[in-house]
Amino acid sequence: MVSVEGAGASGATAVSLAADRVGGTTFLALGHHRGVASLWLLRAEDPSPQWQRTALVKASHHDWESVKQVSVSSDGRVLLACTEDNIVLFSLPSNGDEPQELHRLHGADSQVSAASVSVLPNGATNSHIVAVAFRSGALEGWAVKVPDALGSVKAGVSWRLPRAGKPGLSDVVVAAAAHLSSEVSLATAVLLVAGDAQGTTSLWRLSADGELLSAASPEWEFQPKRLGEPVLSLALHFRWLAAREPDEQALPQWSLAFSSGQEVIALSAESGAELHRGSHAGGIMALSWT
């Protein structure tokens, strides 16, 4: 068991955790008062694992603002910090250089209800995709470009869903995974899942560059038996299904789980079909699927 010693965790106003299972590292982003966000690194290979602070950023112009939402990528290279009046996307160089501000929105109309950052596969034009859900109900995708020859990184809005007249989104998750599409080639699945204030869960599919493929409507929507309970937490999970026969290939499978009210529901990400449902007294505020 490890703790964030001296991290000011008791004063944290927001938390985001992302793990790189291949690299054996875990990144923890914390939001704080005075518009500050911090990033912490934990290496599983260390004999005595301890959290090390790797970055400190300022997202606000005023000290009265607090960071209400944070999201960090699994490689620790991109951090989103949101206050009551500012949304700021940062690039965090791995060589210890100062964090670089990539994109900023200012004003109360830009308040964020949920956000998620995903690393995109090698070879794509963009290195990361950031899903940002606004309290107005709108949903945006911000693309972070692969660094150019000089090491410069740029970012901007790649797509936007206004979602006029629809319930606001209470949680959003974007994730990517590569899998074999044939014996010699890799395909990449990038999925975006969002839950709204009425309990509906929706899935969109993105390209390998993070572009929205089904802009007109979600690929599927799952509505609870009784509307009115918001989706509190979402979790996406990717795994390989073992082949049944020696000459068969393992199959990729995406699943997701969400909590609403006192229920936790697991769905197939491919079809939206219900896989499992459980009830827990008191409700579930946060989910993680590893």
| Beta-sheet strand order (sheet of 52-58) | 14-20, 25-31, 36-43, 52-58
**261 & 122 share domain:** yes
Which of 47, 75, 110 terminates a domain? The answer is 110
Instruction: Specify the pLDDT at position 178.
Output: 61
Instruction: Specify the pLDDT at position 12.
Output: 83
In tens digits, the chain (290 residues) has pLDDT values of 344 444 444 468 888 888 876 667 899 999 999 999 999 998 877 778 789 999 999 999 889 999 999 999 999 999 999 999 999 999 998 777 889 999 999 876 678 999 999 998 877 788 999 999 999 899 999 999 988 777 788 999 999 999 888 999 999 999 887 654 444 444 568 899 999 999 999 999 999 899 998 777 899 999 988 778 899 999 888 876 666 666 666 667 788 999 888 889 999 988 999 998 988 776 666 666 66
Contact in structure between 39 and 26 (CB atoms under 8 Å): no
Instruction: Specify the pLDDT at position 10.
Output: 44
Report how many domains make up the chain: 2
Helix, strand or coil, per DSSP, at residue 7: coil
Instruction: Specify the pLDDT at position 113.
Output: 93
Instruction: Specify the pLDDT at position 46.
Output: 73
**Inside any domain, residue 144:** no
Instruction: Specify the pLDDT at position 8.
Output: 43
Torsion angle, alpha carbons of 232, 219, 213, 110, to 10? -30
**268 & 126 share domain:** yes
Report residue 69 as tokens.
């939402």
Instruction: Specify the pLDDT at position 2.
Output: 42
**65 & 121 share domain:** no
Instruction: Specify the pLDDT at position 285.
Output: 65
**Inside any domain, residue 191:** yes
Provide the CATH number for the domain around residue 232. Answer: 2.40.128
**Inside any domain, residue 282:** yes
Structural domain span for residue 189: 116-131+165-290
**287 & 179 share domain:** yes
**Inside any domain, residue 235:** yes
Instruction: Specify the pLDDT at position 18.
Output: 86
Report residue 164 as tokens.
């006029």
**Inside any domain, residue 156:** no
pTM of the model: 0.86
The C-alpha atoms of residue 148 and residue 134 are separated, in whole angstroms, by 30
**73 & 127 share domain:** no
